[in-house]
Amino acid sequence: MIRQITTKGGERWDNIALSEYGNPAMMGDIIAANPGIDITDTLPAGVVLDIPIIQKADVATSSENVPPWKR
């Protein structure tokens, strides 16, 4: 699933990832979803980007993924 956003002038890939996911390191997911957009330092205004909707895995509730001292 994706949703779309339209950039404002001067936005950066990492700032968009921070805004959308809370993590600037996830900009690669946004870049990969938009192969037709040039990878530049800043994006011009009016670019429509596809933003993948990423489901967060609920690893904290699975006891097999929690160290024994945190169970």
3 state DSSP class of 46: coil
CA distance 7 to 2: 16
Residue 53 has pLDDT above 80, yes or no: yes
Q: Write the pLDDT tens digit of every residue in 3-27.
A: 999 999 999 999 999 999 999 999 9
Residue 57 has pLDDT above 90, yes or no: no
If one counts the domains in the chain, the total is 1
- The partner residues of 11 in beta bridges, in order of sequence, read 43
Buried b (16+ CB within 10 A) or exposed e, 23-42: eeebbebbeeebeebeeeee
Q: Which amino acid is at 3?
A: R
Q: Write the pLDDT tens digit of every residue in 21-30.
A: 999 999 999 9
The residue range of the domain holding 53 is 2-70
